[in-house]
Amino acid sequence: MHANKIKTQRKAHYGFFIGTVFVAFLAYLLWMFYAGHLHPIVFALYAVASMVSFAAYWVDKNAAERGRRRIQESTLHIMALLGGWPGAYAAQSIIRHKTVKQPFQSIFVITVILNILVVALWFVLAPSPGVLP
């Protein structure tokens, strides 16, 4: 199989996986929020982290196109890990940035999974899940 065809198949696989997780996670957060099980601050933190991540991807793509200093990939991954992955995924889809590059996409998928696992553990182990003191 040709290397470009493999990259395209991998890209489609990651895109479908993250897209499905993106929709399911946002639906879950909205449901928890409207059911009163998620403090508005938690919802707001995801929204702000996502907007910051989206903006960072936009700035990085702009810098890449102009040959300027780029945002480090590790910084983009940390933002995703800290809750900005929905915005990072949206930026990847909308502005078509960092969609094929490996191992960036593999690490991005890992940050998404880790973030969701931490949130899931928080909901399972916290005395009052989603509610801040």
Residue type, position 79, single letter: M
Q: Which of left, alpha, beta for 130 (phi over 0: left; psi -120 to 50: alpha)?
A: left
pTM exceeding the 0.85 threshold for the entire prediction: no
- C-alpha 38/C-alpha 73 separation (Å) is 31
Q: Reply yes or no on whether the pLDDT at 11 is more than 70.
A: no
The CB-side HSE value for 38 (13 A sphere, CA atoms) comes to 21
Map out the domains of the chain as residue ranges. 3-125
Residue type, position 128, single letter: S
DSSP 23: H
pLDDT at position 133 is 46
Question: pLDDT digits over 76-98, tens only?
Answer: 999 999 999 999 999 998 887 87
